[in-house]
Chains A and B, each alone.
Chain A
Amino acid sequence: MTCAHVVNVALKKTAGVDTVEVSLNKGLATVKLKPGNTVSVPQLWELIHQKGYTPKATEVTVKGELESVSGKLQLKVTGTKDVLPLSADAKAPAGFAEAKNRVGQTVTLQGVMLPDKNLKIVVPLQVGQVKK
């Protein structure tokens, strides 16, 4: 059994995961999720770590409601206490600026999350772009 297969099977078993594609050349696993899922990125990182691998920079597409609390921008999970803190991507600051202008709206964001040493810690999403 290849390493890629082990990761593929583990991710597919996760509730809310729709499809998984693993690229060996790129060292990349693309995970598409089902509508209404409650999967979190740290949850996927933890899973990969449990299989003996190290998760790195993760590109994330996420939908939610933008809100500003004490001047800090975040994406809110309606009906729960879950929030995803947002920060600017140094390479694409326009995305974060647009997000700030759309507080109160439900949007789809694309950005990057970098895992902390403690994989369970929720790290900020560096906003690259706000999708239409």
Chain B
Amino acid sequence: MSLAVEIGALLKHYKGNIEPALKGIDLKVEKNTIFGLLGPNGAGKTSLISILAGILKPDLGYVKVFEQSVSEKNKNYRRFIGLVPQEIALYPTLTARENLTFFGRMYKVPRKELDDKIQYWLKLLGLDQQQGKLVQAFSGGMKRRLNLIAALLHDPDLVILDEPTVGVDVHSKNILLEQLLELKKQGKTIIYTSHQLEEAEQICDYLVIIDKGCLLTGGTPEKLLHGNFTNVRLEEYFLTITGKELRD
């Protein structure tokens, strides 16, 4: 089994919080899979992927990406990662193409290759006609698609998506999910967090549910649902193991 990500005994405690955000998480993600990270609000999903991407420092534990240790000293692993943050991490007063050119050039993608990639992805995600428009004039769905492209220009082997379909219309969501499957076909590993349990069930090869900083369960969608319960929906299973109280 070749691993894309290996996380061991990960602990993160934010100053001022009583409970740690992550309480010793252990996780392994196989290469070339779509890995779903599910959990209610405040479960620790964003903390986990922030540590994975090297944006946040854990208090304890280790993270390896393609066998390279994620640490302040070692920044090599970063070129393997493409992060699609939950927010639209783009410049609103630049056009779609200007945004992509900037981020691509920052990743040192050669000019010609970058132009071709931008054209390819814009066309694939239905934005080629809008490439000269300022991002602030885009719809929510268009921004989400562009947000995804910005993370793919340097051809990362591991793509991390933090709730990429939030506030997106059905058509955009469909295109985004199709592209995740396409990325998997290209041999990439995808870690994906979502509240949309149905879509996770639909596209993920492996799912884990975390809550209150702990890993509650994990497995393939089929195994997770049919192995524990008989023909329940993922949503029911999710509520059963995380509880029904509100999370804000």
* A, B: real partners: no
Q: Mark B residues whose CB is within 8 Å of A.
A: none
